[in-house]
Amino acid sequence: MSSLHTKYRPQALDEVVGQEAACNSLRAQLADGSQQAFLFEGPSGTGKTTLARICANMLGTTELIEIDAATHTGVDSMRDVASRAGFVSLEGGAKAFIVDECHRLSKQAWESLLKDIEEPPEGVYWFFCTTEGNKVPKTIRTRCVAHTLREVPWRKLVGLLQKVAQEEGLNLSDEIIDVAAETADGSPRQALVNLSAIAHCPDQSSAEAALQRASSPSEAFDLAKLLINPQFDFAKACALLKSMKDMPPESIRHVVRAYATTTILGSPDNRWARGVLLAFEAPAVEQNQISDILCRVITMEKWKR
C-alpha cells in the first residue's frame, strides 16, 4: 500500500478537510486575480503547502518552483530565486514559487525579496508557508494576503479516516479510528500517517503499538520516556532536545504530555508524571521554551517526595 497521506493529498479546495474559512477566502481572491503573494501559517500538517499547490494549479501556472527555506536560508539563495521570477516560463504560462518553512529565512534574504513580492511581474505568484508566523517580518506580511490554518477538529479527522478506510477496504474498529484521529493533534496528514501504520496490523493491541510509534517521533518519544523519572539525566535530555532542532516545539510538547498522561492513567499516584504534565502545560513556539521547561522539571523537588 502506498503512503495514504500522499495518495489522498487534496488536489482541489473542495477536498481540503477542516479549513473552510481559508478555502472560501481563497476562492474569492483567486477569482479576483489581483493578488500575487500569499502567506499560509499554522500548525504542521494542516495543509499549508497543499493549499499553495492547489492555488498555483488554479492560477494556471505551468512552472512550479518549491524552495525549502530550512536549507536555503541565505541572501544569495533568495537572490537566485528572485532572479528566476523575471524570466519567462519555458511553457509560456504563469509561474509560482512556494517557499516552505519561510520563517527560517535570514533578515537579508527577506529584504532581497521585498521588491519582487511587492511588484511581481505579471503571471508570477509567491506562496509562503510557515509554522511560526510570528517570525515573518511585518514588511512581508503587509505585502501578502495571509491565511491562518487551524488544527482540524477530531470529528472531521474521524470522518476523513473512515472515508479513506472504506475506500482502501480496511476493516478497523471505531476505537482504533478514534485513537488514530485523537493522536494526530489536529493534523490530517498525521491522521493518515497513523492510518497507514495500523492498516495491516493483525489485532488491536499491535495496532495501538504501531500507532504510538507513528504518532511519536523517535527522539521526542525518547525524551518523554527519559523525563518520566525523578532521577532523569538532564544532560542527556538537553542533548536529545538539541538533536530535534528541526522539530516544531509544539510537537515535542504534545508527545511529552501524551506520554505523561499515559503514565498517569496506569499509575494515578505518580506525582512526578503529574508534575511533568503540568510543566508542559503552556504552548511553546520557541525551542528555548522547551529548554526552560527542562530546567524547571529538574528542580521539581516537591514532586520527588
Same domain, yes or no: 104 and 163: no
Q: Say if residue 141 is in the same domain as residue 55.
A: yes
Say if residue 144 is in the same domain as residue 166: no
Helix (H, G, I), strand (E, B) or coil at 137: coil
What confidence tier does 305 reach under pLDDT thresholds 50, 70, 90? very low
What average pLDDT does this structure show over 143-156?
A: 93
Same-domain pairing of 135 and 254: no
Q: Does residue 57 carry a pLDDT above 90?
A: yes
Q: Which amino acid is at 14?
A: D
- When pLDDT is averaged across residues 203-222 and rounded to a whole number, the result is 63
Q: Is the pLDDT of residue 78 over 80?
A: no
**Cross-strand partners of 145:** 38
Among 119, 148, 177, the domain boundary falls at 148
Please check whether residue 255 lies inside any domain of the structure.
yes
pTM above 0.85, yes or no: no
The range of the structural domain enclosing residue 268 comes to 218-304
DSSP single-letter state for residue 260: H
Q: CA separation (Å) from 241 to 95, 99, 249, 294, 295?
A: 39, 26, 10, 10, 12
Q: Is residue 10, in this structure, part of any structural domain at all?
A: no
9 domain-assigned: no
Clarify whether residues 162 and 202 are in a common domain: yes
Tell me what pLDDT residue 223 has: 87
Residues 126 and 75 in one domain: yes
pLDDT at 92: 64
Quote the cell numbers at residue 276.
Answer: 511533568
Examine the domain organization and report whether 191 and 226 are in the same domain.
Answer: no
Number of domains composing the chain? 3
pLDDT at 12: 96
- Would you say 85 and 116 are in contact if contact means Cβ atoms under 8 Å apart? yes
For residue 106, the Cα-to-chain-centroid distance in whole angstroms is: 21
Q: Percentage of the chain with pLDDT > 90?
A: 29
Q: Among 19-23, 71-75, 185-189, 265-269, where is mean pLDDT lowest? A: 71-75
CATH code (residue 33): 3.40.50.300
**Residue 14 counted as domain residue:** no
Kindly report the number of other CB atoms within 10 A of residue 301's CB atom.
9
- 188 and 137, same domain (yes or no): no
pLDDT at 280: 86
Q: Are residues 144 and 160 in the same domain?
A: no
Mean local confidence (pLDDT), 228-242: 87
Q: Are residues 249 and 211 in the same domain?
A: no
**pLDDT at position 250 over 60:** yes
Residue 252 lies in a domain: yes
Lowest mean pLDDT among 109-113, 265-269, 293-297: 265-269
pLDDT digits (tens, 9 = 90+) for 100-142: 989 988 888 888 888 888 888 888 999 999 999 899 999 999 9
pLDDT digits (tens, 9 = 90+) for 165-188: 999 998 887 877 887 887 788 899
Taking Cα atoms as reference points, which of 30, 134, 52, 63 lies closest to residue 100? 52
Bridge-partner residues for 103, per DSSP? none
What average pLDDT does range 244-256 have in this prediction? Answer: 76
Q: Are residues 278 and 228 in the same domain?
A: yes
Quick one: 77 and 130 in the same domain? yes
Band of residue 148 on the pLDDT scale cut at 50, 70, 90? very high
Is the alpha carbon torsion for 67, 73, 79, 80 positive or negative? negative
| pLDDT attached to residue 13 | 96
Whether 1 shows a pLDDT value over 50: the answer reads no
- Rounded distance between C-alpha atoms, residue 226 and residue 160, angstroms: 34
Name the residue among 301, 223, 207, 206 with its Cα closest to residue 257. 223
Q: Residue 67: inside a domain, yes or no? A: yes
Close Cβ partners of 59 (under 8 Å, ≥ 6 residues apart): 30, 94, 96, 125
Domain end position, chosen among 101, 120, 148: 148
